[in-house]
Amino acid sequence: MTSYYRNAIDDPPLLRAAFTTMAVTFIGLFLLLPLVTVFWQALGGGLDAVWDAITSHDALMAIRLTLLTAVITVPLNLVFGISAAWAIAKFDFHGKSLLTTLIDLPFSVSPVVAGLVYVLMFGLQGWLGPWLRDHDVKIIFALPGIVLATLFVTVPFVARELIPLMTDQGRAEEEAAISLGASGWSTFWRVTLPNIKWGLLYGVLLCNARAMGEFGAVSVVSGHINGLTNTMPLQVEVLYNDYEYVSAFAVASLLAFLALVTLVLKSFLEWQYADEIAATHRH
Amino acid sequence: MPLAVDSIRKRFGTYPALEGISFTAPQGAFIALLGPSGSGKTTLLRILGGLEFPDDGFVRFADLNWLTVPVRERRVGFVFQHYALFRHMTVAKNIAFGLAVQSRRERPTRQKIKQRVEELLSLVQLDGLGGRYPSQLSGGQRQRVALARALAIEPRMLLLDEPFGALDAKVRRELRGWLRGLQERLGITTVFVTHDQEEAFALADLVVVMNKGKIEQYGIPADVLRVPQTRFVADFLGGGIVGSPHK
């Protein structure tokens, strides 16, 4: 085929083919193949085996704990993310760059360290351990610890998504709203929030995916009590270490399925509301 | 409602933005703040609008200690440089905003708001475009939406920040004549910021020439043009106006 139109930035066809092949091969080998393997392995023992594995008592408890953790941490991150992004993007204050850096901390710190920090604070040998024990409050090896560790790891997702968006949009629209007589609250609901809702949704979806999938930090604080403090990722590891491959892959594939649902949901929303998303970016 | 601005000072950190600005203007005047960028004219406009607060000074307007009136209660029609239209709302929703956010007691009925929006749309000659989004309008149209939105709250004062800055020369000339006519009809005291001297002298009743946070000269256009009082004014005007004594 001869192309009659050539763009100034067109690369030679050979180079283009090479880059495309490289990208496709890389994604295929390192992302797609492992994912397919997970489902393949899970289904190796037949659908019944998968069903039995994910409806066993321990698995159901793990699913419940994972969903519960996500239900608690995602809304908290939503509120924190909006407040932090709002403050950073719309106001100047002392310590702003420090706050921006701190929000990124969970991205750079190993999740295991995050988990250990909570053990050091709330564990029996930790600072608050004796006081907590005397008052019969359980944090480590219980739901609160798991929520805290997950929260630490997922803090950046919503804020990171919103900060560039809100900075880019500036504060002119908010100023216009206030000079037209709107209260701060009404400005937020009518002007700020509608302008960021797509970025916010994206951040929430990513945050949710991470909250359900976190392993390292949760592993340290959970205590791995079967049917009690094991989340789905931990359950997968326990099953795998017990040589229960079919069950391990069954739970793993459920986890992978939840992640895929997240991605599909995101793509669907982007496709459905493409016009509106374009409109809320700078015209 | 005469406007009296008295010894306004404002610093941003160590940078002096305004160093003692004072002038008075009668009710209904069309006042141009003219000066190069960095002269403090936008800061002064934002102070009048309540978006910025001076470190020192006094403003009297509508028989009020103006600076103590909260932004929300000033009823100032502010037209921003890049219009700051609500991009997720239709033109009609944009214009209705100032009415829709009023407390339930003061808010007009939905029917009244709708009627008011129609009136304003036809006042700014945008009949039938109420259902469009700002991104679907031309620059001149957006500018007029911004103006209609500001007029919807029946402002006591109209503040325009480089209102024609983003428009091409032809649209600019058409719009400004129209705007002047409208302002005269409504009789609203209006302050507008510009760095374009031709625009300032063609439109304003009173011109405030500013430089580095100070007023270089203040008066009616004819006087400023005929007798520039400082070296700066003479040089600044020297560049453009036909018939200027320094040309």
**Crossing angle, helix A47-54 and helix A33-43, to 10 degrees?**
90
Report whether pLDDT(A228) > 90. no
Chain A residue with Cα closest to B149: A180
Look at residue A180 in the predicted model and tell me its pLDDT.
94
Question: What was the pLDDT predicted at B245?
Answer: 46
Average pLDDT over every residue of A77-83: 93
First vs last Cα of chain A: how many Å apart? 38
Percent of chain A residues topping a pLDDT of 70: 93
pLDDT at B242: 43
CA A226 to chain B, closest CA, distance in angstroms equals 50
Strands annotated E in chain B: 3-12, 15-25, 30-34, 56-61, 64-65, 76-79, 157-161, 189-194, 206-211, 214-219
Lowest mean pLDDT among A230-234, A245-249, B146-150: A245-249
CA distances from A151 to A87, A131, A206, A220 (A): 20, 23, 13, 14
**Mean of pLDDT values over B34-39:** 90
Which single residue is written with the structure tokens 């004014």? B233
Report d(CA A62, CA A232) in Å as an integer: 5
Return the structure tokens found at A136: 């019969």
Asked if A194's CB is within 8 angstroms of B84's CB, the reply is no
Sign (positive/negative) of CA torsion A110, A115, A117, A120?
negative
Q: What's the whole-number mean pLDDT along residues B163-168?
A: 79
The C-alpha atoms of residue B88 and residue A264 are separated, in whole angstroms, by: 25
Q: What percent of chain A has pLDDT over 90?
A: 26
pLDDT of residue A6: 59
Pairs of residues, one from chain A and one from chain B, whose beta carbons lie less than 8 Å apart: 70
Q: Which of B47, B51, B124, B50 is nearest to B92 (CA)?
A: B124
| pTM (predicted TM-score) | 0.80
* pLDDT (tens digit per residue) in A177-214: 999 999 989 999 999 999 998 889 889 998 998 999 88
- What pLDDT does residue A8 have? 65
**Neighbouring residues of B69: CB distance < 8 A, sequence distance ≥ 6:** B50
pLDDT at B49: 94
Handedness of CA A133, A139, A143, A146 (dihedral sign): negative
DSSP lists the bridge partners of residue B180 as: none
> How high is the pLDDT of residue A82?
93
Question: Which among B75, B87, B97 has the least Cβ separation from residue A279?
Answer: B87
Distances (CA, A) of B213 to A107, B161, B210, B218: 45, 17, 7, 14
User: Do strands B206-211 and B214-219 pair parallel, antiparallel, or not at all (unpaired)?
Assistant: antiparallel
**What average pLDDT does the structure give for chain B?**
89
Average pLDDT over residues B38-57: 93
Q: How far apart are CA A222 and CA A220, in angstroms?
A: 6
- Give the side-chain half-sphere CA count within 13 A for A115: 18
> What integer pLDDT is reported at residue A134 of this predicted model?
81
Residue of B93, B97, B138 to mutate, interface with A, max A Cβ within 10 Å: B97
Give Dmax (Cα) for chain A.
81
Mean pLDDT to the nearest integer, B77-92: 93
The pLDDT-based confidence of A35 (bands split at 50, 70, 90) is confident
What is the mean pLDDT of the segment spanning A153-181? 92
Q: Are A244 and B48 in contact (CB under 8 A)?
A: no
Predicted confidence (pLDDT) at residue A17 exceeds the cutoff of 70: yes
The average pLDDT across B39-67 equals: 93
pLDDT higher for A141 or B68?
B68
pLDDT at B241: 46
| Residue-wise pLDDT tens digits, A102-149 | 998 888 888 899 888 888 888 777 777 777 788 877 877 888 889 999
What mean pLDDT do residues A54-71 have? 90
ipTM of the complex: 0.89
pLDDT at B243: 44
DSSP string covering A183-239:
-HHHHIIIIIHHHHHHHHHHHHHHHHHHHHH--HHHHHHH---TTTT--HHHHHHHH
For B31-40, b/e burial (b = at least 16 CB within 10 A) is: bbbbbeeebb
Across A98-107, A260-269, B210-219, least confident range: A260-269
Report whether pLDDT(A13) > 70.
yes
Interface test with chain A among B90, B103, B135, B161, by most A beta carbons within 10 Å: B135
Please tell me the predicted confidence (pLDDT) of residue A280.
62
Nearest CA-CA distance, residue B11 and chain A, Å? 15
The reported pLDDT for the residue numbered B192 is 93
Count of beta carbons in the 10 Å neighbourhood of residue B144: 25
A263 or B1, higher pLDDT: A263
Average pLDDT over residues B186-198: 91
CA distance A282 to chain B (A): 8
